Amino acid sequence: MSDTPTNPFEAMMAQAQDMAKALNPALESFNPKGFEALWPTMPKEAMEMMFGNAVNKDGLDAKTRLLLTLAGLTMQGAQADTAVRQTVRHALEAGARKQEIVETIGQMSVFAGIPAMTRALDLAKEVMGDTGEEET
């Protein structure tokens, strides 16, 4: 048997990996999760200015907008790991409680299904640190 990929996507990925190794041998052990460290969590005040109700005084605050974003990401099947984790981090910074994040994701099980909810909860737990302790 050969190591040649059998489907076109696998062949394309193998070719891209070979090219990356040729350009920079350090890319052989590249982990895309490292990109998350390049995007720090914005301060709550910056989020309020950009995403909150700074322009529309009667509009949604940053926390609510981020919880809605988390709901939307869950509805898509929580396929964008980095986006889910960053949204949870930003929601916490904007004042969301862990319980609110869990409820937001849980509510989406009705619409997106249990697998999407479970995936989003697993990603959220990575950020929130699943200590088993209740937060008040």
In tens, the pLDDT along 39-96 reads 677 776 776 777 666 667 777 888 998 999 999 999 988 888 888 999 999 999 989 9
Does 28 share its domain with 95?
no
**pTM of this prediction exceeds 0.85:** no
The count of other CB atoms within 10 Å of the CB of residue 21 is: 14
Q: Into how many domains does the chain fold?
A: 2
Task: Looking at the structure, tell me whether residues 19 and 63 fall in a common domain.
Answer: no
Best CA proximity match to 79, nearest among 35, 121, 119, 37: 119
pLDDT of residue 71: 95
Looking at the structure, tell me whether residues 47 and 80 fall in a common domain. yes
SS3 content of the chain, % helix, strand, coil (to 5): 70, 0, 30
What local confidence, expressed as pLDDT, does residue 13 receive?
78
Domain match, 109 and 83 both: yes
Identify the domain containing residue 101 by its residue range: 39-128
